[in-house]
Chain A
């Protein structure tokens, strides 16, 4: 009896020891990895307001016939003034400086400097502009580009060569299309023609357009003239590292051909699409889609949500982990006559994809260092 009893005790000790071993091995002593958390750009943050306030540098004096005492004008951001106005227009602002100093910016820089920075150095030398230091914002509109930053060191004469330059209001110049001398890769020079029109304003703005009228229209707006309609992007919407308003037609073009019905419905239902992208850590995007018919907008939101869900299931089935992970955060938030669509790409997934850029950059830099 005592022997059997003793066996229970031995068994207990063995089992407790075995249990401890199994638990230590099973749980592992590594701390649990943090779950990916993505912060979506849904509204202006304190830093965004501060940034917007610092950019209100331009005071425009109202033009009147002298019958009324002119009220002091509130300073404004010249870049916002340069944005297109009116329904159906598009403009996307890329906060180049903020993006450059974000983790994704570092990765993109590796890709840009895969040749070891040779081309960038050449551009700096020829133009006098260092895009990594001097460029603040890049605005892509439906009629051209607007670049803002510090262009006081820009060698406009060397850049625009024989092109005709004319003054266009205070601090502004317009460079008409004309012939330029282009240096080819093997060092030889040939004459060519540049049809682009460039406008400059106070060494702060560069406006690039297809024709003089579109460039002059932008400069007029900066001077306080032009349309009375508000810019397509208001100051309260300048949050994120990339933001803007895209025409529905342009957004519809981005939808895959297999989803042609969805693209057509988007064209029919939506009136504006506002985008905001945050790249401070992971890349998170919010698209606000508005339309006139509340019911149709809600239905469109549901269809888009379903399309994202199907895409996620497909990615999971095909073993596309990155895409599935990205679509894990995908969400549509309905709200009456508008809805928000949220998408995110984890930074690690982007790092993995762009790892080759860093390798090529390092190889390029090593090549340059060799005598």
Chain B
């Protein structure tokens, strides 16, 4: 396990040296800081009685604080989910290609490491980065609203974890692509394609009737059955963030399915990586 952690640490150090990841973290911090100073919430017996942003009264009505904050938590969950995955695709697209680049891969392979350590370590490092990023934003937002309203729902934090689970599936595809072609652009493109396909797969039962009954519909359903249901998880994370009943049958199974898909794709990458000559 130690070699895997070593590679993960290497990826994290690499990430820390990137200016735009640092800028992203500073950006989140600034948003949270400005929000904490500019937003004034008046809570009376669990009801949000008044809201002021930059001193301007916002006429949202007086209602139970959890109901009033529902749209905000839902919007935040969607931003963390979709925004986080998109940022992750862009920010992490060249980690694997650069790790597998000529010179560096030979150096790594010369070390007492097994090949799967390198891929698993890279995957673990990127996932640690994604987890820290999403939790940083979510916990920050959760703390700000918790302190200001006295309402501490666990939903927004779970929503951030769901976003990480979904990114695991997307990044597994990117990492596997890197074992085939050492191109950051192609990694990002396959990540983006998985992202779009994942959104479509989440709505497969609604989209299926668009196809003619028969082979085309069956084909669509068969293909989308394997693809991670990103939009379904995004909706579930928004529901969780807003403490609303979930629209999916079993969130645990759905999340497990998405993560298992990621591990499956990673296994394809390992199969390819094990047989490649460097």
Residues of A bordering B, CB below 8 Å: 1-2, 4-6, 8-9, 11-16, 18-33, 35, 301-310, 312-313, 327-328, 330-334
The answer to whether B45 and A307 touch across the interface, beta carbons within 8 angstroms, is yes
Measured CB to CB, the nearest residue on chain B to A341 is B62
B256 within 8 A of A: yes
Residues of A within 8 A of B232 (CB): 27
Number of interface residues of B (CB under 8 A): 47
B257 to chain A, nearest CB (A): 3
B263 at the interface (CB under 8 A from A): yes
Q: Is B225 an interface residue (CB 8 A)?
A: yes
A-B contact sample (12 more), CB < 8 A, given A313-B46, A313-B64: A15-B264, A16-B261, A16-B264, A19-B257, A19-B260, A22-B256, A24-B225, A26-B250, A305-B62, A306-B45, A308-B47, A332-B62
| Docked-complex contact A19 and B226, CB < 8 angstroms | yes
A32 to B249, CA, bound (A): 10
Q: How far is the CA of A23 from the CA of B253 in the complex (A)?
A: 6
Q: Which residues of A contact B47 (CB under 8 A)?
A: 302, 305-306, 308-310
Chain A residue at minimal CB-CB distance from B222: A20
Inter-chain contact A26/B255, CB cutoff 8 Å = yes
B67 and A328: CB pair below 8 A?
Answer: yes
Pick the interface stretch among B12-20, B24-32, B132-140, B267-275: B267-275
Whether B205 pairs with A12 at a CB distance below 8 angstroms is: no
Q: Which of A16, A303, A307 has the most CB of B within 10 A?
A: A16
Within 8 A of A (CB), among B141-158: none
Q: Knowing A19-B261, A23-B258 touch, does A12 contact B62 (C-beta < 8 A)?
A: no
Q: In whole angstroms, how far apart are the Cα atoms of A313 and B65 in the complex?
A: 11
Q: Is the CB of A305 within 8 A of B247?
A: no
Kindly report which residue of chain A lies nearest to residue B255, judged by CB atoms: A26
Contact B229 A9 (CB under 8 A): no
B72 at interface, CB cutoff 8 A: no
Expressed in whole angstroms, the Cα–Cα distance for A32 and B253 within the complex equals 17
- B268: chain A residues within 8 A (beta carbon): 8-9, 12
Given contact pairs A20-B257, A22-B257, A305-B49, A11 touches B62 in the complex (Cβ within 8 A): no
Given contacts A23-B225, A309-B45, A309-B47, contact A330 B267 (CB under 8 A): no
Cβ 8 A contact of A5, one of B63, B250, B261, B274: B274
Q: Which residue of A lies closest to B70 (CB)?
A: A328
B263 contacts across to A, CB distance below 8 A: 15, 19
Do the beta carbons of A310 and B46 come within 8 Å of each other? yes
Residues of B within 8 A of A23 (CB): 225, 228-229, 253-254, 257-258, 261
Bound state CA distance, A306 and B61, in angstroms?
12
Q: Which residues of A contact B259 (CB under 8 A)?
A: 19
**Chain B residues within an 8 Å CB radius of A6:** 271
> Inside 8 A of B244's CB, which chain A residues have their CB?
35
Q: How far is the CA of A302 from the CA of B232 in the complex (A)?
A: 38
- When distances are taken between beta carbons in the complex, the residues of chain B under 8 Å from A28 are 248-250
- In the assembled complex, the CB of B199 is this many whole angstroms from the nearest CB of chain A, namely 13
15 pairs, CB–CB < 8 Å, chain A vs chain B = A8-B267, A24-B257, A26-B251, A26-B254, A26-B255, A26-B256, A28-B250, A32-B235, A302-B44, A303-B44, A305-B49, A305-B63, A308-B64, A331-B63, A334-B59
Nearest residue (CB) in B for A339 is: B62
Residues of A contacting B254 in the complex (Cβ-Cβ under 8 angstroms): 22-23, 26-27
How far, in angstroms, from A307 to B44 measured CA to CA in the complex?
9
In the assembled complex, the CB of A29 is this many whole angstroms from the nearest CB of chain B, namely 5
- Determine whether B130 belongs to the interface, using a CB cutoff of 8 Å to chain A: no
- Complex contacts, A21 vs chain B, CB 8 Å: 257
Contacts of B49 in A (CB 8 A): 302, 305-306
